[in-house]
A and B are shown apart, each in its own frame.
Chain A
Amino acid sequence: AQKVTQAQTEISVVEKEDVTLDCVYETRDTTYYLFWYKQPPSGELVFLIRRNSFDEQNEISGRYSWNFQKSTSSFNFTITASQVVDSAVYFCAQDSNYQLIWGAGTKLIIKP
């Protein structure tokens, strides 16, 4: 069965520290997509990134970077030089049969 695990329930760091959010997935599909979403305290869900299973290149977008490793079934998300505005719940998800399978989320707290 498809499953997405975010083992870190909550992470708290001081501003400007780097932080990595872990995501491990299980799938038997040979082609699949992985996603990260952000849910700030205001409650909306914001799409961050989509990654195809054929593309294992790391991706960087400003202070955000993603490390996709098929060998360990992981799709980790790193925030460099964290800021208070990064405080949010972050969800990892994988698509399966036109639906998204969601992890439970990691609550990230950035202290000033």
Chain B
Amino acid sequence: NAGVTQTPKFQVLKTGQSMTLQCAQDMNHNSMYWYRQDPGMGLRLIYYSASEGTTDKGEVPNGYNVSRLNKREFSLRLESAAPSQTSVYFCASSEWRAGGGYEQYFGPGTRLTVT
């Protein structure tokens, strides 16, 4: 039982390059999330998927796209990377029900640097 896995762990991009961050969970959770964490700051939600087949914008969606490939996998794509997207990216998953209240479980993070 690996929990939430993310690939890659580290990535360096040049401005304008594109890449996809991969996330998978094996806990049969319905909801999945992508966050970014800038140095010395808290987490900011980029996109989330409450259930398979749905995605919604979070607090900071600009410059990103997501795909909920199936129940297990949720990918984050940067189409044209910018230095402002240098950050640590965390994927998370949780159960889902009306009324909320489930804790989120996090992957180990991807450290992305855009030069």
Contact = CB atoms under 8 A, between A and B. Distances in A.
Interface of A: 31-33, 35, 43-45, 47, 50, 52, 91, 95-100, 102-105
B53 interface: no
B108 interface: yes
Interface string B85-96: 000101010001
Nearest to A107: B40
A44 B109 contact: yes
Please name the 9 residue pairs, one residue from A and one from B, whose CB atoms are nearest each other, closest first.
A45-B106, A33-B101, A95-B100, A104-B42, A102-B42, A47-B103, A102-B43, A105-B42, A50-B103
A98 B105 contact: no
B25 interface: no
Interface in B69-95: 88, 90, 92
Interface residues on B, range: 20 to 34
Contacts of A45: 43, 90, 92, 106
B41 interface: yes
A84 B58 CA distance: 35
A24 to B, nearest CB: 15
Given A98-B48, A103-B42, A44 B108 contact: yes
Contacts of B43: 45, 91, 100, 102
B104 interface: yes
A104 B31 contact: no
A70 to B, nearest CB: 16
A100 B94 CA distance: 11
Given A47-B103, A91-B42, A99-B58, 18 more contacts: A33-B100, A35-B103, A43-B88, A43-B108, A44-B106, A44-B108, A47-B104, A50-B101, A98-B31, A98-B50, A99-B33, A99-B45, A100-B43, A100-B45, A100-B104, A102-B43, A102-B44, A103-B42
